[in-house]
Chains A and B, each alone.
Chain A
Amino acid sequence: MSLHADVDIQQLYKNGEELCGDNVIVTRSPDNTTIVISDGLGSGVKANILATMTTKIASSMLKRNIKLDEVVKTIAETLPVCKVRKIAYSTLQIIKIDTSGRATVVEFDCPPTFFIRDGQVTPFPVEKRQIGDKLVGVGHLQLLENDILVAVSDGVIHAGLGALLKLGWGWKGVAEELQDVCYRYPSVETITRRIAGCCEGYYLGKPGDDTTVVAVKVHPTRFLSLLTGPPKDIDNDEKVIRRFIASEGKKIIAGGSTANMVGRYLDEKVGVSLVSEDPNVPPIGYLDGIDLVTEGILTLNVVIERLHDKNLNESTLEDGATLMAKMLNEADSIEILAGTAINPAHQNPNFPFKINFRSQVLGELQKILQDKGKQVHIEWV
Chain B
Amino acid sequence: MKTVTIEICMGSACYLLGAQELIETIQALPEERQAQIDLRGSTCLKACGQGPNITVDGELFHNVTPELLLRIISEKLD
| Chain A interface residues toward B at CB < 8 A | 255-257, 259-260, 263, 270-274, 276, 279, 282-283, 285, 293, 295-298, 343-348, 350-352, 355
Known A-B contacts A259-B43, A272-B41, A350-B17; the reply to A295 vs B48 at CB < 8 A is: no
Cα distance A359–B61 in the bound complex, in angstroms? 32
Cα distance A257–B12 in the bound complex, in angstroms? 10
Cα distance A293–B10 in the bound complex, in angstroms? 12
Pairwise interchain contact B42-A272, C-beta atoms closer than 8 A: yes
Cα distance A276–B27 in the bound complex, in angstroms? 13
Choose among B10, B39, B49 the residue that contacts A345 (Cβ–Cβ < 8 A).
Answer: B49
Q: Which 10 A-B pairs have the closest CB atoms?
A: A272-B41, A345-B48, A345-B13, A256-B43, A256-B11, A256-B44, A282-B15, A344-B48, A257-B44, A259-B43
Question: Total number of A-B contacts with CB less than 8 angstroms?
Answer: 77
Q: Does B36 contact A (CB under 8 A)?
A: no
Interface residues of B in 6-55 (CB under 8 A from A): 8-13, 15-17, 19-20, 23, 39-44, 48-49, 51
Closest B residue by C-beta to A293: B43
- A272-B43, A274-B40, A352-B16 given. 12 additional CB < 8 A pairs? A255-B12, A256-B12, A256-B44, A272-B42, A282-B15, A283-B10, A344-B49, A345-B11, A345-B12, A345-B48, A351-B13, A355-B12
| Chain B interface residues toward A at CB < 8 A | 8-13, 15-17, 19-20, 23, 39-44, 48-49, 51
Pairwise interchain contact A272-B10, C-beta atoms closer than 8 A: yes
Could you write out 8 A-B pairs with CB less than 8 Å apart?
A274-B10, A282-B15, A282-B19, A297-B12, A298-B16, A344-B48, A348-B48, A351-B13
Describe B's contact surface by its main secondary structure.
mixed
Pairwise interchain contact B44-A260, C-beta atoms closer than 8 A: yes
Cα distance A257–B42 in the bound complex, in angstroms? 10
User: Which of A283, A298, A351 has the most chain B CB within a 10 Å cutoff?
Assistant: A283
Pairwise interchain contact A282-B49, C-beta atoms closer than 8 A: no
User: Which of A259, A271, A282, A298 has the most chain B CB within a 10 Å cutoff?
Assistant: A282
Cα distance A296–B44 in the bound complex, in angstroms? 11
Pairwise interchain contact A256-B10, C-beta atoms closer than 8 A: yes
Pairwise interchain contact A348-B49, C-beta atoms closer than 8 A: yes
Choose among B20, B39, B49 the residue that contacts A347 (Cβ–Cβ < 8 A).
Answer: B49
Cα distance A350–B17 in the bound complex, in angstroms? 9
Closest A residue by C-beta to B13: A345
Known A-B contacts A272-B42, A273-B41, A274-B39; the reply to A279 vs B20 at CB < 8 A is: yes
Pairwise interchain contact A276-B20, C-beta atoms closer than 8 A: yes
Pairwise interchain contact A343-B48, C-beta atoms closer than 8 A: yes
User: B residues within 8 A CB of A344?
Assistant: 48-49
Cα distance A351–B10 in the bound complex, in angstroms? 15
Cα distance A306–B44 in the bound complex, in angstroms? 25
Pairwise interchain contact B10-A282, C-beta atoms closer than 8 A: yes
Closest B residue by C-beta to A287: B43
User: A residues within 8 A CB of B39?
Assistant: 274
User: Which of B19, B39, B41 has the most chain A CB within a 10 Å cutoff?
Assistant: B41
Pairwise interchain contact B12-A295, C-beta atoms closer than 8 A: yes
Cα distance A148–B9 in the bound complex, in angstroms? 49
Cα distance A343–B47 in the bound complex, in angstroms? 10
Instruction: Give the Cβ gap from B58 to chain A, nearest Cβ, in Å.
Output: 15
Pairwise interchain contact A257-B49, C-beta atoms closer than 8 A: no
User: B residues within 8 A CB of A296?
Assistant: 11-12
Instruction: Give the Cβ gap from B38 to chain A, nearest Cβ, in Å.
Output: 12
User: Which of B11, B20, B43, B51 has the most chain A CB within a 10 Å cutoff?
Assistant: B43
